[in-house]
Amino acid sequence: MADEHHALTKAFSGLGGLGVDESTMVKTISKWQKQPDQKSKFRKNFPGFFTPNGSIETCEDDFVRHLKTEFSRFKNLMVLWAMHPHERDARWIHHVLHKSHPYTIIIEIACTRSADELLNIRRAYQSLFHHSLEEDVAYLIKENYSKLLVGLVSAFRYEGPRVDNEMAKSEAKLIHNAVKCSAPGEVVKNEELVRILTTRSKLHLKTTFEQYKNLYGKPIAEDLGVNLCLQETVKCIDTPANYFSEVINNAFNNKADKPTKRALNRVIISRADVDMDTIKESYNKQFGTKLEDVIAKNTHGCYKDALLSLVGK
């Protein structure tokens, strides 16, 4: 019987994983019918979640909130999976602007979608919320990176194969000058830097970043320092698979906050039909293990099964 109590405790808490083990819960309901003493023992042996309160054990409010979150993971995953990608991205951006979600989500969407996809996201946003995406970003984001974000969501980049190598080299020098001549934290406002990052094609920018490394002996990311907004922009444009791998890995950190954990759904859902194989390769190279194995180890129940199906195990 102790094994059953342990299994149920694990099913409810996840023991550090994501989601809940619905199958074990349902089996226990069947086994423990008309056995209230078993539920009482379960509550008494579930430290941290149930607290003695007179003659009964009461559920901690934090645990109630925890359970709601874990039970909702599968539901939220399926809702997002069924939604049109343009609507889904528009809603994610709206959440950033109105519900204090990390602004890096805007950078991720703006820099990893195609020009046509981003145009359709703007159309979906306007249809859903009766504002243009650009005006909401400009009005609601007051920080010094607002011009960069407006430029990124407004972009309609050239997607052909042509790159002017001399121009890329020249703009690598402009970026270096902007970084070196700007006060700490102020480089994100540099107009030349913003123009380059928000208007040039992704292929042109990748060439520019290569030229930067050739000219100055280190990746551009090293010179951008702690400026997360610029770091994420460069990473999403230059090495999106590495970026997504890192987001996924951060979501499995036991100390991760809620937005970081929620990012797992966002990345798996949005990339499942796009570049998941490339992301899986990148994850294996960066972290020395298969993404499928990490998901299987750190998630539970229907949520685990759905994630594994999406990543293509």
Reported confidence tier of residue 295, pLDDT bands at 50, 70, 90: very high
Give the model's pLDDT for residue 12. 67
Q: What DSSP letter does each residue of 90-142 carry, written as one string?
A: HHHHHHHHHH---THHHHHHHHHS-HHHHHHHHHHHHHHHSS-HHHHHHHH--
Distance between start and end Cα atoms, the chain: 34
Which of 94-103, 128-137, 166-175, 287-296 bottoms out in mean pLDDT, i.e. has the lowest?
Answer: 94-103
H helices of the chain, where? 2-13, 22-31, 36-44, 61-82, 85-99, 104-112, 115-129, 133-140, 146-154, 165-181, 191-199, 202-216, 220-223, 228-238, 240-251, 258-271, 276-287, 291-298, 301-311
Give the model's pLDDT for residue 73. 86
Residue 22 has pLDDT above 80, yes or no: no
What's the rounded mean pLDDT across residues 128-138? 96
Look-up of token digits 């390769």: 281
What's the rounded mean pLDDT across residues 143-165? 96
What are 233-286's pLDDT values in tens digits? Answer: 999 999 999 999 999 999 999 889 989 999 999 999 999 999 999 999 999 999
Give the model's pLDDT for residue 100. 74
What are 32-76's pLDDT values in tens digits? Answer: 777 778 877 877 877 667 788 787 777 777 777 777 787 788 888
Give the model's pLDDT for residue 51. 80
Number of C-beta neighbours around residue 189 at 10 A:
16
What are 75-124's pLDDT values in tens digits? Answer: 888 889 989 999 999 999 999 999 878 899 999 999 999 999 999 999 99
What's the rounded mean pLDDT across residues 151-158? 98
Which of 20-29, 103-112, 211-220, 261-270 bottoms out in mean pLDDT, i.e. has the lowest?
Answer: 20-29
Give the model's pLDDT for residue 212. 97
Give the model's pLDDT for residue 1. 52
Give the model's pLDDT for residue 26. 67
What's the rounded mean pLDDT across residues 139-168? 96
Distance from chain centroid for Cα 42: 35
Give the model's pLDDT for residue 141. 92
What's the rounded mean pLDDT across residues 13-30? 70
What are 179-207's pLDDT values in tens digits? Answer: 998 887 889 999 999 999 999 999 999 99
Q: Angle at CA 193, nearest 5°, toward 192 and 195?
A: 65
What's the rounded mean pLDDT across residues 9-38? 71
Residue 24 has pLDDT above 90, yes or no: no
With 0.85 as the threshold, say if the pTM is over it.
yes
Give the model's pLDDT for residue 38. 81
Q: What DSSP letter does each residue of 171-184 carry, written as one string?
A: HHHHHHHHHHHSPT
